[in-house]
Amino acid sequence: ETGVTQSPTHLIKTRGQQVTLRCSSQSGHNTVSWYQQALGQGPQFIFQYYREEENGRGNFPPRFSGLQFPNYSSELNVNALELDDSALYLCASSRPERGSPLHFGNGTRLTVT
């Protein structure tokens, strides 16, 4: 069984730039969620995708956007990067049934300078 994989593992960007992070779901999972984890804090929910549509969003501005593809892989796009966007971005996949646990990838460490 292939787990959740994310790319790249590390990324350095400059303030104002745009970034795309990628995620492949665990096999058998068709729901993908993205979380932002700032240093020393717990993860914060960004949004969730199911059947290629966003079906839930946390308290993040519209410059955070995403996509889910027919093979259930996903992208997180962040425009107009700010210094506070520096964080570990975690992708998680799950089955669509309520209560199905989320399985996380190892994350992408984004540094904005």
Partner 1 sequence: GEDVEQSLFLSVREGDSSVINCTYTDSSSTYLYWYKQEPGAGLQLLTYIFSNMDMKQDQRLTVLLNKKDKHLSLRIADTQTGDSAIYFCAESIMDNAGNMLTFGGGTRLMVKP
Interface with partner 1 by CB under 8 A: which range of 12-20, 50-58, 66-74, 75-83?
Answer: 50-58
Tell me the number of residues near partner 1 by CB under 8 A. 31
How many beta carbons lie within 10 A of that of residue 90, not counting itself? 24
66 lines the binding site for partner 1 (CB under 8 A):
no
62 lines the binding site for partner 1 (CB under 8 A):
no
Among 17, 18, 27, 100, binds partner 1 (CB under 8 A): 100
Q: Which long-range contacts (CB under 8 A, 24 or more apart) does 64-71 make?
A: 66/34, 68/32
Helix and strand element counts for the chain (H, E): 0, 11
Please tell me whether residue 84 adopts helix, strand or coil conformation.
Answer: helix
Q: How far is the CB of 16 from partner 1 (least distance, A)?
A: 28
Calpha distance 2→58 (Å, rounded): 28
Please tell me whether residue 38 adopts helix, strand or coil conformation.
Answer: coil
Q: Which residue has the tokens 């969620």?
A: 33
45 lines the binding site for partner 1 (CB under 8 A):
yes
Nearer to partner 1, 40 or 70 (CB): 40
- Applying CB under 8 A, the residues found at the interface with partner 1 are 4, 6, 31, 33, 35, 40-45, 48, 50, 55-58, 90, 92, 94, 96, 98-107
